[in-house]
Amino acid sequence: MPQTSGELASLTAEDRKTQSIPSPALFPNGVGHTTMLLYIHVPFCRRKCRYCAFHSLEMGAATAVRDYVETLLRELALWGDRMGGTPVTSIFFGGGTPSLLPARTIGTILDRVAKAFSVQPGAEISMEANPESLTRPSELRTLLKVGVNRLSMGVQCLDDAMLHTLGRPHRAREALDAFRAVRAAGFQNVGMDLIWGLPGQTLRQWMQQLKEVVRLRPDHLSCYGLTLEPGTPLEDDCATGRLELPPERAQAAMFMDGAELLETEGYIHYEISNFARMGFQCRHNLGYWEGEDYLGLGPSAASTLGGLRWNNPEDHATWIRQVDEGRVGTEAERLTPQTRVLELIMLRLRTARGLRVKAYRELTGRDFLRDHKRLVHLLHREGLLRIRDGYLRLTRSGMLVSNSILERLFEDTEALMALPVDTPAAPLPDAGKVAVPNAGQTTEDVAGQAAIPTVERDGSTGTDAAAAPPSPPPAPPAGRSHG
Ligand code: SF4
C-alpha cells in the first residue's frame, strides 16, 4: 500500500533531528504501550507499471524472494523482542504485489506476527492483490485459511487499451474473472482500486466502467485521480504530447458524478478517494487517517510510533544488512508539534467525518475557528466546507479542490506556529500541553489574500481531488492508487 517514499523528504529542517529509538524509553514497560497497525511491504511486481512511483521490483530470481522473506521474518522477530505483546488491530500487506507471494508464505508471516504481537480478535487482515495473480482457487482458499480476510484488487480500469497504456499486466476480462473467483473462494470483504482521469478517457467511459464495476457489488471502492509521477514513462508520454489527459472540466465531472453514482448505489463516501458499503470501510486506512500508531516492515516501509517516525531503507541490500545487524528503527525523527498539526489537518479533512475542532485545540492549545477565521468563512460561503457538531468537513466540492485548501491551511498554520528550530516535541499523550509561540496571532494577521478556487458544478476550476496531498507535512501511508 502506498507508503509514500517521499514522506520524510518533506519534513522541515527542525524535524530532521534523528535519534536511535531507545526501546526502554519508548516502551518503558517492555511491552507495547498502545495498540498499533502493522504494515508489511512486499516489494515485488510482475513488471513495472508505466505510472508507478512506488517502491517495487520486478519479480526476479527465487533467491531474491527467499532473502526478502527470511529478512522480513528476522525484522519481525527483532520488533517482537523490542515490543512484543503490543496489541495489533490491523495488518496490511501492501506493495508491490503481495499476492505474488505463495499463500502459505503469507501464512508463515502471519504466524510469526501472532507470535511477536498480540493480534486482536477480529483484526482486519488486508492484502493488495492484482487480478493476474488471483487465478488459482486453491491459493485463494489457503489465503482465507491463513487469516487474510480482506482483499483489495488493483483493477484500475476495464478498458484493455487503457490498461495497456498504463502498463498493467492484466486485461479487463481477467479482472472480472478474478473478482468472481475471489468471491467463489469465500472472501466476504473485497475491494477494487480504480483510476479516473486516464489519458484519452471520457466522462462517459468512466461512468460506464463504474456502472459495470458496481454490478459486481464489491464491498469497497478506491477511486483515485491519475497522478503523473515525475520520471515515469506515462509522465514522459504526457509531457511530450504522445498522450493527453482529459480536460480539467471532464476530470472534475469524473470525480463529482462518480461519487454521486456510488452514493446512489449505496456506497458511503468516507474519504476523498474511498467508498464503502456500510461496515466495510478499510479499518487500516481509517487508522492512518485518525493518526493511530503504525509499524512498517519491509524495504521502504514507514513507521510512526510514540511520536517518532522513521523509514526503512528502500535499497534491499541496505535493508537486509541493517536487519542482520539488528538495527531496526534507527534514525527515527521526533515529530514536531508543527508536523503533527499539519498532519492532523491534512488527514482529518480527507475524511467525511472531518476535523474535530477540539482535537486541534488539544494539540495546539489554540482555537481553529479563530486561527483560520477568514479562510473558514470564505470556504463556508463558497460551499466548500461545513461545520457541524464540532467537526469541520469538506463538502464534495471542497474535496475536489482539497489540495488547494490544504495548501492554504498549511501556509496559515506554519505562520501561526513558527516554532524555534530546537523546540522539543511532546509525546502524543501530552500533546495538548504543547506550547505554541505566537499564540496571540489570528488568521487575519497572517493569512494571504489569494482566493481559494471556487468550484462550479461543471468543474470549471482545477481538480486536485484524490491526487497526492500537498507536500508540507509528511503523509501517512495511504492515499494513492497503485497495484
Ligand atoms: S502500480 Fe502497483 S502493480 Fe504496478 S508496478 Fe507499481 S506497485 Fe506494482
pLDDT of residue 320: 97
pLDDT of residue 330: 84
Comparing CA positions, the residue from 266, 109, 95, 48 lying closest to residue 193 is: 95
Q: Ligand 1 centroid vs 96 CA: distance in angstroms?
A: 5
pLDDT of residue 420: 41
Its sign, for the CA torsion 409, 411, 416, 421, is positive
Residue recorded with cell 493518526: 291
Closest approach atom of ligand 1 to CA 96: 7
To test the pocket of ligand 1, the residue of 97, 133, 229, 480 to mutate (highest count of ligand atoms within 8 Å of its CB) is: 97
Residues with CB under 6 A from ligand 1: 45, 48-49, 52, 54, 56, 95-97, 130, 154, 482-483
pLDDT of residue 347: 95
Tell me the CA distances in angstroms from 148 to 99, 281, 326, one per residue in order.
11, 16, 29
Architecture of the domain whose range is 8-289: Alpha-Beta Horseshoe (3.80)
pLDDT of residue 55: 82
Q: Ligand 1 centroid vs 52 CA: distance in angstroms?
A: 6
Q: Ligand 1 centroid vs 49 CA: distance in angstroms?
A: 5
Comparing CA positions, the residue from 101, 224, 204 lying closest to residue 159 is: 204
Q: Ligand 1 centroid vs 50 CA: distance in angstroms?
A: 9
Atom 4 in ligand 1: residue holding the nearest Cα: 49
Grid cell listed for 42: 512486499
Atom 2 in ligand 1: residue holding the nearest Cα: 483
Q: Ligand 1 centroid vs 231 CA: distance in angstroms?
A: 15
Element (H, E) at 237: helix 233-239
pLDDT of residue 449: 31
Residues near 173 by beta carbon (within 8 Å), at least 6 away in sequence:
none
Residues 410-444 as b or e (16 or more Cβ within 10 Å = b):
bbbbbbbbebeeebebbebeebeebebeeeebebe
Grid cell listed for 425: 516535541
pLDDT of residue 54: 85
Closest approach atom of ligand 1 to CA 45: 8
To test the pocket of ligand 1, the residue of 54, 156, 164, 314 to mutate (highest count of ligand atoms within 8 Å of its CB) is: 54
Mean pLDDT per block of 10 residues along the chain (483 residues) reads: 33 36 43 81 94 86 90 97 93 95 97 96 97 92 98 97 96 96 97 98 98 98 96 96 97 98 98 97 96 96 94 95 94 91 95 96 92 95 96 97 94 76 31 23 29 37 50 43 51
pLDDT of residue 483: 52
Domain boundaries, the chain: 8-289, 337-446
Atom 7 in ligand 1: residue holding the nearest Cα: 96
pLDDT of residue 10: 31
pLDDT of residue 415: 86
Atom 6 in ligand 1: residue holding the nearest Cα: 52
Q: Ligand 1 centroid vs 280 CA: distance in angstroms?
A: 24
Atom 3 in ligand 1: residue holding the nearest Cα: 483
